[in-house]
Amino acid sequence: METDNLLKTPLFDLHTALGGRMVGFGGYALPVQYKGIVAEHLHTRQSASLFDVSHMGQVTVTGPDHATTAAALETIMPGDLVSLQPGEMRYTVLLNDKGGIEDDLIVTRPAAGQAPDGILFIVVNAATKLNDMKLMQAALGGKLNFALQNDRALIAIQGPKAVDALARHSDITQKLTFMQAGPATIAGFYCHVSRAGYTGEDGFEISVANAHAHAVAELLLAEPELEPAGLGARDSLRLEAGLCLYGHDMNAEIDPVTAGIVFAIGKRRRSEGGFPGAETVLKRLADGPETRRIGIRFDGRLPVREGAELVDADGNVHGHVTSGGFSPSLEAPIAMAYLPVGAAVIGASVTALVRGKPVTGTITKMPFIAQRYVRTLS
């Protein structure tokens, strides 16, 4: 494909050398696949894969001390950030005045001794990172300093055997559980490593200077457990895990209660409010939403893609698919969609229209497959 007008991550040359089929995504040239989406998906579930997620936005936020920095961010996010302990991560959302989601993100407090007190790290979505910076600076620029770290790559290794591959190069695997982070040296280079992911599997994200990204990626790919994987497998993996994709399953018109990500709102924040759209969000939390994000497993093998209409028994449209595709793990089509609460009942039948033809399915509890995050160290 023509890549001259697309941004290139520090691993672009590695992708092309490995035979990655490059596509445009969020303004970047990224691999959609190498050997094939299904093969990469299943390898991730069975072993581990390496994904280039350097297009994501890595932001450093600096204030005078942790309490001040966290309290300021809480005025634009509903997460409980003040209580973050060193090395802890928290998933939350950036909200507008109507309670709609401008972006979902992860906030990390650096490990003890890793950075001066008052610094927080935020990872935001690629397509929204410039708007996120604009919104955060407009709201808090006089109180905090925001810096987009364009000099750092981000490498994700995901799968049950990711820990085995990384453990040969760092003892950080013995220090972190799910949603924790800390510093590490890999291939002789300083890295910031977190243990989270976007596949439902155990895994790690490695933030490293652009100049060292190629060396770190090659070192890890030399391990027998790891193979490269592209955007296609990343999307099918996160769909099976029931994870939202911003701009598809949530947007500036959808609040976190309706989206089914109430865990993004800290328990303390639910009682005190103090974030944009709090009145709307807390009312929905108390009364329940009018519509709800659901999972659907369809009959047959025909994938039901984003945008497909969901119709009731009378043929009236009452919902739309927001993410959909074929699940390699389940060998069946699956999807996420929004339906009125009265129709969003586990076990209920649904009908989608695909090119005008009805496809039946069943509302299913999410995630579609069990998540395998590591929450305790053995």
CATH superfamily of 1-241: Probable tRNA modification gtpase trme; domain 1 (3.30.1360.120)
∠ Cα 274 278 280 (to 5°): 165
How large is the average pLDDT for residues 68-92? 98
How much is the pLDDT for 2? Answer: 64
**Average predicted confidence (pLDDT) for the chain:** 97
pLDDT in tens, 322-354: 999 999 999 999 999 999 999 999 999 999 999
Between the alpha carbon of residue 198 and those of residues 69, 87, 174, 217, 221, the distances in Å are 27, 19, 21, 18, 19
Q: Where are the domains of the chain?
A: 1-241, 262-364
Tokens 């490498």, residue?
155
Residue 234, Ramachandran bin (φ over 0: left; ψ between -120 and 50: alpha; else beta)? alpha
pLDDT in tens, 29-49: 999 999 999 999 999 999 999
How large is the average pLDDT for residues 80-97? 98
The structure tokens listed for 289 are 């939403």
Element (H, E) at 271: helix 267-272
What is the maximum alpha-carbon separation in the chain? Answer: 64
pLDDT confidence tier of residue 5, bands split at 50, 70 and 90? confident
Distance CA 343, CA 337 (A): 12
Given a cut of 80, is residue 275 above it in pLDDT? Answer: yes
pLDDT in tens, 97-155: 999 999 999 999 999 999 999 999 999 999 999 999 999 999 999 999 999 999 999 99
How much is the pLDDT for 351? Answer: 98
How large is the average pLDDT for residues 287-313? 97
How large is the average pLDDT for residues 256-283? 97
**Proportion of the chain above pLDDT 70, given as a percent:** 99
Given a cut of 70, is residue 1 above it in pLDDT? Answer: no
Beta strand pairing call for 48-52 and 226-228: parallel
Of 2.40.30.110, 2.60.40.10, 2.60.40.60, 1.10.150.120, the CATH number of 262-364 is: 2.40.30.110
Residue, of 160 and 313, whose pLDDT is higher: 160
- b (16+ CB within 10 A) / e for 327-362: bbbeebbbbbbbbeeebbeeeeebebbbeeeebebe
- E strand residue ranges, 160-277: 180-186, 189-195, 203-209, 226-228
